[in-house]
Amino acid sequence: MTKKVKLGKSGLLVNPIGLGTNAVGGHNIYPNVDEAAGKALVHEALNNGINLLDTAYFYGPERSEELIGEVLRERGNRSEAIIATKGAHKFVGEKIELDNSPAFLKKSVEDSLRRLDTDYIDLFYIHFPDEHTPKDEAVGALKKLKDEGKILSIGVSNFSIDQLKEANKDGYIDVYQGEYNLLQRSAEQVLLPYTKEHGISFVPYFPLASGLLTGKYNKNTQFDGSRPHSPHFKEGVFEENVIKVDKVRAIAEAKGVETAHVVLAWYLAQDSIDAVIPGAKRAEQVLNNLKTLQVELTAKDIKAISDIF
């Protein structure tokens, strides 16, 4: 049985390998989303000890939460899952706006509880900062919901360091989620040191950089249509990144594991990163991600990988 780890000071106990669920009902993110396959994915994760399910109102929108709620209802064991969800987006006509106001966050939590068909959410994040709401006021609203037992822990996502400091003025932030991977390491400058100092767990998203860090590409890879929308895939940059990933592949092959396993294990070796949430579209990908937990990186390995990038 996988040893669970504490997610920062939240008290939540999670498998270090979680599941990002934007492909579960994420009709506005991926084409041709198969909802039955998405639910099967969540069942497979829970069946194999993955308990941290990362979702959001925006995934679908709404549908990811609803499908996870259906899975929880079918299984009849709410406590086996640690549900992390997020809110901040609202539709105003055809436009999407961000809202961190206390009233909107309270409504967001109530709506997520209904869609997830549960009476508590383990971790609720403010998904993106808005331009107007003082961040300590926004988090204060979540603290009230935590005191009421509707959410168990508080997170923020995509906040700048100044916004994070303002949000954490009263020490209420348990988890921070932001972009971080071996090709995008700016979080190491101030965000990761701040989260370490304040006992906040840092959950990185895009950990595999749209598949680039899995080692599935080579410099001759042909893209049908357009390349993935990421600066890491730009012509010239992409080829350089493939060379770097190939060096990680050599380390992985020496250990008899895949490149992605070594990359994910490297994150888990970093201060204040307790869990990662790679996405998946197929059940075998969920099981494959779990092999990360079998990887043992030495201090020499960790430095060697860092030096490559």
pLDDT, one tens digit per residue, over 273-282 is: 999 999 999 9
Mean pLDDT, residues 138-163 taken together: 98
User: pLDDT above 70 covers what percent of the chain?
Assistant: 99
In a domain, 141, yes or no: yes
Token pair for 4: 């669970």
Domain containing 184 equals 5-211+261-296
Residue 3 has pLDDT above 90, yes or no: no
Residue 287 CB coordination number (10 Å): 15
Band (pLDDT 50/70/90 cuts) for residue 228 is confident
Q: What is the pTM of this model?
A: 0.96
Q: What is the CATH number of the domain that holds 102?
A: 3.20.20.100
In a domain, 255, yes or no: no
pLDDT, one tens digit per residue, over 203-222 is: 999 999 989 999 999 988 98
Active site (catalytic) residues? 59
Q: Where would I find the beta strands (DSSP E) of 118-275?
A: 123-126, 154-157, 175-179, 201-205
Cα–Cα distance, 288 to 263 (Å, whole number): 13
Token pair for 133: 């709401």
In a domain, 244, yes or no: no
Contact status, residue 75 vs residue 43, Cβ threshold 8 Å: yes
Token pair for 302: 């960790």
In a domain, 41, yes or no: yes
Mean pLDDT, residues 222-226 taken together: 74
What is the predicted pLDDT for the residue at 229? 81
User: In one letter, which amino acid is 144?
Assistant: K
pLDDT, one tens digit per residue, over 57-96 is: 999 999 999 999 999 999 999 999 999 999 999 999 989 9
What is the predicted pLDDT for the residue at 230? 86
Mean pLDDT over each residue of the chain, to the nearest integer: 96
Band (pLDDT 50/70/90 cuts) for residue 226 is low
In a domain, 248, yes or no: no
Residue 225 has pLDDT above 70, yes or no: no
In a domain, 171, yes or no: yes
Q: How many domains, the chain?
A: 1
Residue 197 has pLDDT above 90, yes or no: yes
Contact status, residue 72 vs residue 81, Cβ threshold 8 Å: yes
What secondary structure letter does DSSP report for 299? H
In a domain, 113, yes or no: yes
User: pLDDT above 90 covers what percent of the chain?
Assistant: 94
In a domain, 221, yes or no: no
DSSP string for the chain? -PPPEE-TTS--EE-SB-EE-TTSS-TTTSSS--HHHHHHHHHHHHHTT--EEE--TTTTTTHHHHHHHHHHHHHT-GGG-EEEEEE-EEEETTEEEE---HHHHHHHHHHHHHHHT-S-BSEEEE-S--SSS-HHHHHHHHHHHHHTTSBS-EEEES--HHHHHHHTTTS---EEEEE-BTTB-GGGTTHHHHHHHTTPEEEEESTTGGGGGGT---TTPPPSSSPPSSGGGSTTHHHHHHHHHHHHHHHHHHHTS-HHHHHHHHHHTSTT---B--B-SSHHHHHHHHGGGG----HHHHHHHHHH-
